[in-house]
Each structure stands twice: as C-alpha cells, then as structure tokens.
Amino acid sequence: MKRVLVTGGAGFIGSYLCERLVEQGNEVICLDNFFTGSKENIIHLMDNHRFELIRHDITLPIYLEIDRIFHFACPASPVHYQYNPVKTVKTNVMGTINMIGMAKRVKARFLQASTSEVYGDPQVHPQPESYWGHVNPIGLRSCYDEGKRVAETLTMDYHRKDKVDVKIIRIFNTYGPRMALNDGRVVSNFIIQALTGQDITIYGEGRQTRSFCYVDDLVEGALRMMEAENFIGPVNLGNPEEFTMLELAETVIRLTGSRSQIRHLPLPADDPTQRCPDIALAREKLDWQPAIRLEEGLGRTIAYFDEVLSTKDVLDDLKRWEYLQSNGVGV
C-alpha cells in the first residue's frame, strides 16, 4: 500500500488512474481544480476510505506526505488548452515545479504525463522517443506543446541536480468513456455528432492521421511505468494503429448507424499531419502493448455517450459545445 497523489485526478484519464490505484489497495489523493475535470468522474470513489479529494490549483504550492505522484493536471484538448494559453503555460511550468518540488521534499517518485505533442508536426514517422520533434514555438498550440516540453526539461533537471526519482511517459491520443461532452477532441466530437444526427465536422480534408489508444490500455501502461525500476523514459504510450480522420468518421458513422453527413471545416493552424507511436521501447521495458482495437474501444465509448445523452440533462453542455464549434474555437 502506498500513498499516491494523482494531479488532474478528476479528469478523463486521471479518474481511471484513481480508480485502479484504489482497487490495488493504495491510499489515493486526487488533486484537481475542476477546469476540465468533474466530480462526476470520481463520485463513485467518494465513499471509499482510501480515496480523498482536494480542490486545488497546482500553480500554487501544496505539501502532502506521499510516496508517488502521477502528474496529470493540464487541459489536454486543444479547445481547452487554447482557452487561456498563459494559464496552460503556468500549469505546465509553475505547476510542474510545485509538484516536482514536493516530490523532492518528501522523496516521492514522480511520473510526468507528457504527450506526443512534444514531437509537434513530426518529420519522422512513426515517432521514436529519440526524435526531438518539429514544434512551432509561437503558434496556437505552443502553450501546450512547449509547456509540456519544458515540463519534461524540469523533470530531467530535477533528476540530474536533485536526484529526484522521475519518469516520463509520452501519451498519444487516448479516448474512452468519461470524456467530457464539450471536450472538443475528435473521438468524442464525432461520436456525439453521430448520435445526435449533426454533421460530422472534419477539419481540413481529413487525410491527417492519428493513432487512438483506449483509456484502459493507457492506464495499464502508466501504472507499469510507475513501478518499473531503473527506467526513467521518456517512453511512448499509444496504439500504433494509424487512421485518417476520414476513416475515423466513416467508422463512427458505421458503428452508430447514423445518418449524419460529413462537413469539412478549416484545418486549425499547426495541426500535425501525421502521428503514430513507435512503441518498441514500451514493449521491451514494460512488456506493454495496447490490447483494445479501435472498433472495440469505439463501441464502448459509443455505448457510454448513448447512455449519457439519453439519461442526463445535457442541454447546457451541448449548447456550450455547439457554441464553441460554430464560433470556430480551437478550429
């Protein structure tokens, strides 16, 4: 049993991490400012005596006695991280300094949730960890991309200078139930559009590619990485099956039986043209690879959104989401 802190624990991925860590018998502290996370994601854990929730913004210091930190706090959807780009940088820089500073003080092991965005619009394909990336430092995505790159830098500098026990995972596009209705990322957008009979919004021609990892697979990889000895990373965690956005749209339409039509919208600036992880290192060091293929994961995610859309009063959420779409926020 360990005392584990999950920053961003009320978010999409963080909530699954909290769940798994509690199931394993750990004492879990979930820390979140609820910018994109929600209490609904963790409500089922609230009665568990091994689970604790703290509303806190990581840009401010906090001191907790813990053994492990899964550092996941940061908005991940372009719509949300571009909403207040300076705050996104603060979360990644000041927030990460605060969290690693705490790890240093209490001698906790620290895992940084980094991203495939550190590779930018990659010119090497698929992307191995040794690739340094191709990132625009002054574009709309830079607050997130460069923020996460500095967070990796901080992680390594605290390790070299202060001997903090650190790990870095680079997460590729991850999806699944509990993505927010207004998340704005492609999988939830397409599914909600298909289920509600709206046009499927493809940005650009739809030939750009992504590789989609189901959340259970990702969480398994993160847990293995945290407990791996003598391996700092960075390590890519993602599903190496690559799809164009057109292929994704067609698959979602087929699986939902929707009559939605495809509508093309302008391609956002700096939108990476291709992305696919080389996961040889994760296979070798963590004996990890994704088990859930796209259609199976989409099936589970569609069932989730179907349920949410039919049982919950989602009007306000959807209105906000449609407003963001029609005003091209994040587009």
Selection from ligand UDP, ligand NAD, none that 8 binds (CB < 5 to 8 A by kind) is ligand NAD
What's the Cα-to-Cα distance from 191 to each of 14, 263, 271, rounded to whole Å? Answer: 22, 14, 21
Contact flag: residue 236 with ligand NAD (CB under 6 A): no
Planar angle of CA 34, 219, 70, nearest 5 degrees = 55
Residue 27 has which token pair? Answer: 């004492």
Q: State the minimum distance, in angstroms, from the CB of residue 146 to ligand NAD.
A: 13
Given candidates 82, 96, 115, 127, which one binds ligand NAD under the rule CB under 6 A? 115
Contact flag: residue 102 with ligand NAD (CB under 6 A): no
Restricted to residues 40-59, the positions that interact with ligand NAD (CB under 6 A) are 57-59
Question: 216 or 260, CB closer to ligand NAD?
Answer: 216
Question: 67 or 199, CB closer to ligand UDP?
Answer: 199
Q: For residue 144, indicate whether it is catalytic.
A: yes
Beta-carbon neighbour count of residue 234 at 10 Å?
19
CA 307 to chain CA centroid, nearest Å: 23
DSSP state for residue 183 in the 8-state scheme: -
Q: State the minimum distance, in angstroms, from the CB of residue 33 to ligand NAD.
A: 4
Q: State the minimum distance, in angstroms, from the CB of residue 68 to ligand UDP.
A: 27
In which residue are the tokens 């164009």 written? 244
Planar angle of CA 67, 73, 79, nearest 5 degrees = 165
Question: 189 or 260, CB closer to ligand NAD?
Answer: 189
Q: What residues contact 194, with CB distance under 8 A and at least 6 apart?
A: 200, 252, 253, 256, 258, 260, 302
Restricted to residues 57-76, the positions that interact with ligand NAD (CB under 6 A) are 57-59, 72-76
Interface residue list for ligand NAD (CB under 6 A): 8, 10-14, 32-37, 57-59, 72-76, 91, 95, 113, 115, 171, 173-174
